Amino acid sequence: MMRVFQISVLSCVIVLSAGCEAKKDRPIWEQVKIGDIAPGAAAKRPEDQAIKTIDFNIFIFDVPAENINVLDGIWPLLYTKPLEFKDAGGFRANSFMAGYGQLSIWNQIRDLLVGAGGEKTETVSLLLTDGQDRDYVISGLGAEQTVFYRSVSGPMEEAGAGPGKIVLRIRAAKRPGIRGVCDVSFLPVFVPLPSSSIPQLAARSKTKEFRFEPVGFGTKMGPGDFIFLGPEKYSEEQVTLSGLFFSRPKRKAVFRTYLFLCARVD
């Protein structure tokens, strides 16, 4: 009888051992899948996770004010038809001029600026995230002042500004389904200095921004396309929007031009 009992116990141990061994050998990835841990993660495609960017290069030239007529030879080389103005009359009334061109004629424009005594004072690389704003600083305002501008071809209007900065707000967004093309917008904005380092209070300062809507414009761009921005005429006044953009109070009076080159669309 004892012999039979020992055989029965031994058989049970063998069966239990075999069951444990089978569980031990089973690969864990057959038991739990990554989709069970993070639902939906496996369904995302690599291109959905990529950050879409647009690269711009900004070239700034300062030219002696007495040679403002050099622009008369530059504007005919450029196109205005691709540009869409928020207020074409207001844009011109504020003494702003803009033209659209391609890289093939940039050397010709540069040679005209250099021939007029112009100097390249700065080159900026600006990386734009698809659909997000980036501010390029035009001028700083150290104290509160009044900035004059025109909404239409009429009397001057006033905007209280300062301390803070005048920026050109640039936004680029890729066109869905069209490779290598983006919609770009440009808008002058006064941005006040943050009133606090606390994010909630700093956000309130943003509500005090002033957007110079009459001078906003946009266009469609691809790699090699550029926008040339300059004044219609020279003004040394630092209280007008045009003066803050294009006049520089240096030892010798100069006017400033900007070239925004679309270098790459990812």
| Average of per-residue pLDDT values in the chain | 81
Do 165 and 129 form a contact (C-beta atoms < 8 A)?
no
What does the pLDDT read at residue 12? 47
pLDDT digits (tens, 9 = 90+) for 211-251: 999 999 999 999 999 999 999 999 888 889 999 999 987 77
Please give the average pLDDT of every successive group of 10 residues along the chain, which has 266 residues: 46 46 42 35 41 88 96 97 93 95 94 96 92 93 88 80 91 86 95 68 66 95 96 88 89 93 91
Provide, rounded to the nearest whole percent, the portion of the chain with pLDDT above 70: 75
pLDDT digits (tens, 9 = 90+) for 111-146: 999 999 999 999 999 999 988 999 999 999 888 888
Distance of CA 86 to the CA centre of its chain: 19
DSSP type of residue 156? -
What does the pLDDT read at residue 243? 94
DSSP element (H, E) containing 8: helix 2-25
For residue 89, give every residue at least 6 positions away whose Cβ sits within 8 Å of its Cβ, in sequence order, or none.
152, 153
Do 32 and 234 form a contact (C-beta atoms < 8 A)?
no
Greatest C-alpha distance within the chain: 122
What does the pLDDT read at residue 203? 55
Read off the tokens for 139: 């001028």
What does the pLDDT read at residue 15? 44
What does the pLDDT read at residue 153? 62
**For the chain, what is the radius of gyration of the CA atoms?**
31
